[in-house]
């Protein structure tokens, strides 16, 4: 009787597994770099520092990123893309604009307590190359535009008092960005608690003078 050989799994990873491993390594570099940029400032951190924190050699970093500028840009882009997504969802969601803006502000504040969010504020776009700086500012403009559009909707639907839309939007983003400056994980409040408190304060400003 002919016996078929037992089918064994290949000891080599599949293309999908290799892609997942590569993505995990890139994420590890970004998280580590963001933490170091936050702790020491962008100019004071070298790729050797990032490699040492990860317990790898610098050539390993170069397999995933061309230079330190690319790492910083991707670090800040992670936070800005998350904020942009939250703002876009709030813009297209159901209900009164003020309620949607409140949800968005909470998410924004939480992002500012994370390493990538802190990088956005603590490093500044002047640290980026000219090309990266343009992309960074383009993302920020999109966020500003969505927030202002939400404020305008709120004025129209009566949930937000009439106000200077541009200045109100700047006040909101300025207050939320500043969370990255003073938030401390061991400060007695969780990121969610801080986000709830910040959003509540800002929401009251939108209706305080009605």
pLDDT one-digit tens code per residue, 142-154 = 999 999 999 999 9
What's the CATH code, domain 67-207?
1.10.357.10
What average pLDDT is seen over the chain? 88
pLDDT digits (tens, 9 = 90+) for 21-48: 778 888 899 889 988 988 888 888 999 9
Closest by CA to 196, choosing from 176, 182, 210, is 176
pLDDT digits (tens, 9 = 90+) for 99-128: 999 999 999 999 999 988 888 888 777 888
Whole-angstrom Cα distance, residue 39 to residue 119?
A: 10
Whole-angstrom Cα distance, residue 133 to residue 88?
A: 22
Distance set, CA 49 to CA 13, 41, 43, 67, 123 (Å):
30, 12, 12, 13, 17
Whole-angstrom Cα distance, residue 181 to residue 189?
A: 15
Whole-angstrom Cα distance, residue 92 to residue 34?
A: 31
**pTM for this model (two decimals):** 0.82
pLDDT at 107: 95
């Amino acid at each position: 009787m002919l016996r078929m050989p037992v089918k064994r799994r290949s000891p080599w990873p599949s293309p999908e597994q290799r892609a997942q491993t590569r993505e995990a390594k890139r994420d590890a570099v970004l998280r580590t770099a963001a933490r170091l940029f936050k702790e020491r400032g962008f100019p004071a951190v070298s790729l050797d520092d990032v490699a040492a924190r990860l317990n790898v050699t610098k050539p390993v970093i170069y397999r995933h990123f061309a230079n330190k500028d690319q790492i910083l840009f991707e670090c800040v882009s992670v936070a800005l893309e998350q904020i942009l997504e939250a703002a876009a969802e709030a813009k297209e969601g159901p209900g009164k604009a003020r309620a949607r803006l409140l949800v968005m502000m909470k998410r924004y504040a939480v992002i500012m307590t994370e390493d990538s969010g802190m990088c956005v504020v603590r490093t500044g776009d002047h640290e980026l190359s000219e090309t990266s700086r343009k992309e960074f500012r383009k993302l920020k403009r999109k966020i500003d535009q969505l927030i202002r559009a939400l404020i305008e909707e709120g004025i129209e639907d009566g949930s937000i008092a009439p106000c200077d839309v541009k200045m109100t939007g700047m006040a909101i983003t300025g207050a939320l960005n500043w969370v990255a400056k003073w938030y401390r994980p061991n400060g007695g409040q969780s990121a969610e608690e801080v986000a709830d408190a910040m959003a509540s304060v800002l929401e009251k400003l939108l209706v305080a003078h009605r």
